Structure 1
Amino acid sequence: MNTYYKKLLILKSIEFTDNQFELALKKAGYEITTAVNVEVVLERIASQKVDLIICPRKLNGESGFSIFKRLRPYLLTTAVPFFLFLQKYDEKDIMIGLEMGIDNFIFKPIDIDSVIRKVDRAFYKRTELNVFTLKHFKKYFSKSDVPMFFLEGNQVACVNEAFKKLVKRKSEDMENQRFDWLFSIANYEKNEYHYRQFVNGVTEICKLKEVTCCSTNGVKYNINLHRGNQFDIRSAFAEILPLNNDFAKVDSKSDEKEALSRLDIAKEKYGLTKRELEVFHLSANGLTVKELAAELKISERTIEKHRANIRRKTQTRSILETMWVIDSNH
């Protein structure tokens, strides 16, 4: 079991007051806290004092589905799994919950070993889906001519060789340094707002313009930030695109050819439909689900379905990983 994630919050109700259940979870190594209203849950999520929530089918006259819907925006940005407790196995309730995005279900009679396995899987999933740990990405990162680095929170965690050559500094001079110490983003007025959106999990991609690095005498760069792990808003990957030099002078026809090549591969090798190709192309250019829906004049739910189909056909777990897999076929 992953012992790092261990704090379980159980919402208490008349139907869900099984002390033996709580004792069994404590014995399994989990830290258990309880609450009787949603406001307490929000406080715990905000203060990072909860790693998984178990909610009853009814709480203070409100359904567990309604509670999940209220909590969902916070759960998505903090990656906290949500389990629904049912008095009995109910196929319709489970189908509704799965469609909404509820992670799992517990129902009577309670099988504590089964519950522990479900909880363990939920925690493992949070660490498993980090695209940055995949072999093909590690190779891409180390061998690429594009300067790149990782962020953990606001600190530079790792840089590649191309980045070290660009700024003419050693790894130890940059790693563990604060991003806002190493780079200044004040040259472009919208940078601070976009970066704040990104670090708070509002967007998965952030483009910072005309950024300067403290070691390059005012040379300006564009920095593209990507979030590779949907379950960890602190983890990010960055590409540095220097301005006003040969590295940045990419002919527009070359850009179009590269994009065409990527779409051709997506169509021929992975069988993406015309609409899926549109969604993939715009996603690769950094558009959010909301922006995609507005651009293509379809619902956000339809966009999500197309993105899910793209991931299924390419056997990837994020659009970012899809880009790398397809690019590796160039």
Structure 2
Amino acid sequence: MTFVRALSFATLLVLGVIALNSCGGRQAPAELHLFIWANYIDPEVYKLFEREFGVKVIEENFDSNETLRNKLQAGVTGYDIIVPSDYTVEALIRQGLLAELDLQKIPNSAHIAPRFRGLYYDPQNRYSIPYLWGTTGIGYNAQKLETPPTSWADLFEPDRLERYKNRVSMLDDPREAIGAALKYLGYSVNSTDPQQLEAAKNLLLVQKPYLARYDSETYDDFLLTGDLVLAHGWSGEFAKAHVENSNIRYVIPREGGVIWADNLAIPKSSQRIDLAHTFIDFLLRPTINAKIVNFLRYPSTNEAATAHILPEIVNDPAIYPPEEILEKLEWIRDVGDARALYERVWDEIKSR
């Protein structure tokens, strides 16, 4: 060995020792990248997974299914697990953007309740496993309202909104906001009829001057501060707010609303597909799934988790609606080419 080679070897050896010492003599944990809605998991779950498997979960957030879908369609990579809603799963499957799951590597998928197996968007659960579910309706501060809302009319009719002007919000989500308007008008949330969508657009434009904002991320906080008194939103956000202030309530309007399920799926572009299966199976463990539900207050799709969920959650009809309410709810579905029509309507609403 020459002197130069010996010196180089010694230098590398010293650098290696320094690197090991800086890591406490251990390798940095592997990483798994999760693309998920904001505040949609108990952060403690990440710590438990890293402790057991030596894998660090890196979380990135999206604010709508459209944002998630557009990123994947544009070829953005680096995500190992995503959490799309039902109709978005259907679209991503059709576009060939999801990896097929190996259910033998996800034995805890056996705990999924029959109601949530084989749903319309993935009939064989080849590409997705239901994570949590919920409904979309109206949250409100009972202390600030003269009468509690019971209908979509309370969110759309000017004579009912006038006294609460600039203290009302709608979801910043085209399918949800347009869907609520369609439901009020007596149409399906999945309408592709141009005249019905035009009517929904006009209704939302009439409503817009009374709104404080379109908001999908902080409306529950603004209900708690009193800046909002009425908010269009997702059931679990209002359930969490109710824990802090019992005057925050939630109702599904008598005309019906939306039922949805968010799902765990693996993008085809993931470089850690086996590890992604491991994390999905971990989230479906009954005790882990119950921990998430107890933290978020969204209902579980996991039958075996029920025994570990707080009774006050399982027995709350605002979180787990009775059958007679569920029968009035619709799933949002992918509307295919009519998506462009929804986008145009939404752009016109937001730009005015």
The alignment's TM-score, normalised by the length of structure 2, stands at 0.26
Which structure has more relative contact order (CA 8 Å, sep 6+)? It is 2
TM-score normalised by L of structure 1: 0.27
